[in-house]
Amino acid sequence: MSKTIIISNRLPVQLQISDGGLNAIPSVGGLATGMKSVHSGGESLWIGWSGLTEEDTPADLEKEIDKALKQHGCAKVNLTTKEMEGFYFGFSNRTIWPLFHYFLEYSEFELEFWNIYKTVNQKFADAIIAHSNEGDTIWVHDYQLMLVPQMVRKQRPNTSIGFFLHIPFPSYEIFRTLPWREEVLEGLLGSDLIGFHTYDYERHFLSSVRRLLGLDVSFNDIYLDHRVIKVDSFPMGIDYKKFKDAAIAHAQNTKEKRSDLQIKLDDHKASAPDTKLILSIDRLDYSKGIAKRINAFEYFLNKYPEYKEKVRLIILAVPSRSNVPQYQLLKKEIDELVGRINGELSTVNWTPIWYFYRSLPFENLIDLYTSSDIAWLTPLRDGMNLVAKEYIATRIDKTGVLILSEMAGSAYEMNEALLINPNNFEQQADTLKKAITMPKEEQIARNMFLQNRLERYNVEVWANEFMGSLNRKSEGEQTHKSKKMSEAILEKVGEKYAKSSKRLLFLDYDGTLTGFHKDPQKASPDEELYQLLDDLHNQENTTLFLISGRDKQTFTKWFLHKKYNMIVEHGVWISRHGEEFKLLEQVKGEWMEKVKPVLESFVDRTPGSFIEEKNYSLAWHYRSTDPDFGEKRATELNTVLTSLIGNDDISVLNGNKVVEIKSSNVNKGRASVRILGEDDYDFVFAIGDDWTDEFMFQELPDSAVTVKVGLKKTQAKYHVESTKRVRTLLKRFAAK
């Protein structure tokens, strides 16, 4: 039976060893809860680091640990202290974390860290291979394991692999500074589905893939060899019910059952009923903007001194990655800031900031959420920020104001919150005032929307949506209606070919018989191709046509001596049996004088692009330009041409990194149908990769065997994934 394998840096259980005994306690984190529906029963396994390094694991407990983990559906990856240093505290948290959160100056590019990151990712991949079978579905989590998808794909080419990134994916300008940027992208592209919290992260990722790897991207599909990788955004939700229920239980608590923290909070409320509590909760991390927030709070108190003694800021900073120097410095900075501000502003009855540097039990978290009038979350960069969502979920009477940084992924879904730029102190001071004075009705109206959304799109829905999308993909969600040219189909087509008595073959050249080159002149035929074409050309009862958009000079040079039949410039010229090219179509070329200067101006403004001048058409190539820029310019060119063309009988073809302008009555469809009409053929075959080949696929009769190269949408009956496969197919014909 196939199962789901979840893989993350940490396991969702904590091991506790005391007096030689062992305890495995399930953790209650958002991910662990979210995955409940995915990680259930005996059909799933969660692989990760147990939290104990090899050195810290007593040898005699090893077996017991495995057993305890197994009971929770988990298996561990063993890591040494040195591996943990290089992989987790090193590459993950001193290179990737700062870089992906736009703290370029904190990012350390250490070869040693990178090497250990690779080794450890391989360990995780090996663990997956050891614990899984071919039909299993694998879901890899987060930035610590970005190479795992490709490492698994290498050994399990047909396994369904999903990857979710919990932190932002930065813009191309930031990402490209990483010395191992291509390797990281290639690692991720081992997946079938790559998920991000927001559309912006998705967009940034796709842009890096196009620019750094030069891959074709169409909407949110990436075309890589014979695979299509889907990229999508899945904003992570919370376990809404858990927070809501906890808040309800909290409200029903008797006085005696209150926690110490709640007693302190209640005392505060009783002593100063008008004082508002402002809450912030984060891991102590520079990306969360804690120091800036404290400064902004001081700014607020100075700008609006009437609120002194009327507000109190509670900061819960949860210890995190204290082995990393930046975090130690930050801790010191915050300690000093809180000390200074409290020292300067405190009065006998009032301390402006209550600061906790610790992790609190869940119940205390609920005490804080439910007792605070305002939640003030100001990350400088945050993948999502679940605290914002949790605060809203606990507001059972729907009061409370959320002030949230625009830089948090959650801001995209929480428009009804007061959104701020954490660098703008003026705006924050004014927003705090607005929050403090916001009428209850307005609070309720805003939170109603927020709560409805959070309840609906909770963490379980999030996990199921991701898995659903991954499963649909592996079940072969079709990007087009054409069938893959499988071995069985190829066999059948081959038989038909062998049995036929008069065959007509149309073969496109670039992207079909050969791959693309940055310089089209360099894409000349190789020996193997000549041999293959000779074999087909010399076959009895077979008429072979090379059919291309290329100019006649190039094809004369490459193929005339071979005497192959050729149609070039999309159908303007024809050459049969080695004769000079003749006009197949009467075309007018006056329009060219008008269009050429336009194309020239585009060449001037688009570095890397050039014009190909053919006899009756002009082509503007942009394969060597920056891909995004090239596409943008191509769209612009289309607009300019549309207004320029007017009533002229010419059309614009948008091919693969080329915009071609030619007479309307010329296309490969019309040309191929003309040839077809010259005789009675009982086997007609056309193959091509480009938009321009679609004319053939559309216009040839239904009985024709039409084949698209690549996975893009097509009118062809079949598709093959690569030029390599085209040759296999044609060799099969040649052998008949």
The stretch among 40-48, 209-217, 385-393, 411-419 that binds ligand GDG (CB under 6 A) is 385-393
Site string for ligand GDG, 389-428 (x = CB under 6 A): -x--------------------------------------
Sign of CA dihedral 127, 128, 133, 134: negative
Minimum Å distance from CB 377 to ligand GDG?
Answer: 8
- Residue with Cβ nearer ligand GDG (166 or 614): 166
Name which position in 2, 322, 359, 664 contacts ligand GDG (CB under 6 A). 359
Count CB neighbours of 380 within 10 A: 22
How many CA atoms, within 13 angstroms, populate the side-chain half-sphere of residue 59? Answer: 0
**What distance in Å separates the CA atoms of residue 660 and residue 662, rounded to the nearest whole number?**
6
Sign of CA dihedral 629, 631, 634, 635: negative
Does the protein bind ligand GDG through residue 510 (CB under 6 A)?
Answer: no
Report residue 276: phi and psi, to 5°.
Answer: -95, 140
**What distance in Å separates the CA atoms of residue 555 and residue 633, rounded to the nearest whole number?**
29
Name which position in 225, 325, 335, 362 contacts ligand GDG (CB under 6 A). 362
Q: List Cα–Cα distances, 360 to 261, 400, 638, in angstroms.
A: 10, 22, 60
Does the protein bind ligand GDG through residue 236 (CB under 6 A)?
Answer: yes
DSSP string, 270-281: HH-TTPEEEEEE
Looking only at residues 249 through 308 of this chain, which bind ligand GDG when binding is defined by CB under 6 A?
281, 283
Site string for ligand GDG, 318-357 (x = CB under 6 A): x---------------------------------------
The stretch among 36-44, 338-346, 386-394, 418-426 that binds ligand GDG (CB under 6 A) is 386-394
- Residue with Cβ nearer ligand GDG (132 or 198): 198
Name which position in 75, 229, 365, 618 contacts ligand GDG (CB under 6 A). 365
Q: Are 283 and 30 in contact (CB under 8 A)?
A: no
Minimum Å distance from CB 381 to ligand GDG?
Answer: 9
- Residue with Cβ nearer ligand GDG (33 or 609): 33
Q: List Cα–Cα distances, 352 to 278, 296, 310, 344, 430, in angstroms.
A: 10, 13, 9, 10, 18
Q: What share of the chain is helix, strand, coil (3-state, %, to 5)?
A: 50, 20, 30
Does the protein bind ligand GDG through residue 244 (CB under 6 A)?
Answer: no
Q: Please list, in sequence order, all residues whose beta carbon lies within 8 angstroms of the beta carbon of residue 290, skipping any fewer than 6 positions away.
A: 280, 282, 284, 315, 317, 330, 334
Question: Is 225 tagged catalytic?
Answer: no
535 CB-contact burial (10 Å; exposed 0-12 / middle 13-18 / buried 19+): middle
Q: What are the structure tokens assigned to 688, written together?
A: 């091509």
Minimum Å distance from CB 373 to ligand GDG?
Answer: 19
3 state DSSP class of 654: strand
Please tell me which residue in 136, 285, 508, 510 is annotated as part of the active site: 508
The stretch among 152-160, 359-367, 546-554, 721-729 that binds ligand GDG (CB under 6 A) is 359-367
Looking only at residues 166 through 185 of this chain, which bind ligand GDG when binding is defined by CB under 6 A?
166-167
Site string for ligand GDG, 475-504 (x = CB under 6 A): ------------------------------
Minimum Å distance from CB 201 to ligand GDG?
Answer: 11
Name which position in 311, 387, 584, 659 contacts ligand GDG (CB under 6 A). 387
Minimum Å distance from CB 236 to ligand GDG?
Answer: 5
Name which position in 90, 352, 383, 630 contacts ligand GDG (CB under 6 A). 383
Looking only at residues 6 through 45 of this chain, which bind ligand GDG when binding is defined by CB under 6 A?
30
Name which position in 44, 385, 394, 458 contacts ligand GDG (CB under 6 A). 385
Minimum Å distance from CB 364 to ligand GDG?
Answer: 7
Minimum Å distance from CB 241 to ligand GDG?
Answer: 14
- Strand partners for 75: 47
414-451 as b/e: b if 16+ CB within 10 A: bebbbbbebeebeebbbbbbebbebeeeebeebbeebb
Does the protein bind ligand GDG through residue 384 (CB under 6 A)?
Answer: yes
Cα three-residue angle 707-712-714, rounded to 5 degrees: 50
Q: Are 263 and 369 in contact (CB under 8 A)?
A: no
Minimum Å distance from CB 367 to ligand GDG?
Answer: 11
Q: Please list, in sequence order, all residues whose beta carbon lies within 8 angstroms of the beta carbon of residue 241, skipping any fewer than 6 positions away.
A: 455, 458
| Helices within 579-722 (DSSP H only) | 591-605, 627-645, 668-676, 694-699
Does the protein bind ligand GDG through residue 382 (CB under 6 A)?
Answer: yes
**What distance in Å separates the CA atoms of residue 571 and residue 670, rounded to the nearest whole number?**
8
3 state DSSP class of 652: strand
- Residue with Cβ nearer ligand GDG (143 or 559): 143
Minimum Å distance from CB 284 to ligand GDG?
Answer: 10
Active-site positions?
508
> What residues make contact with ligand GDG under the rule CB under 6 A?
30, 166-167, 236, 281, 283, 316, 318, 359-360, 362, 365, 382-387, 390
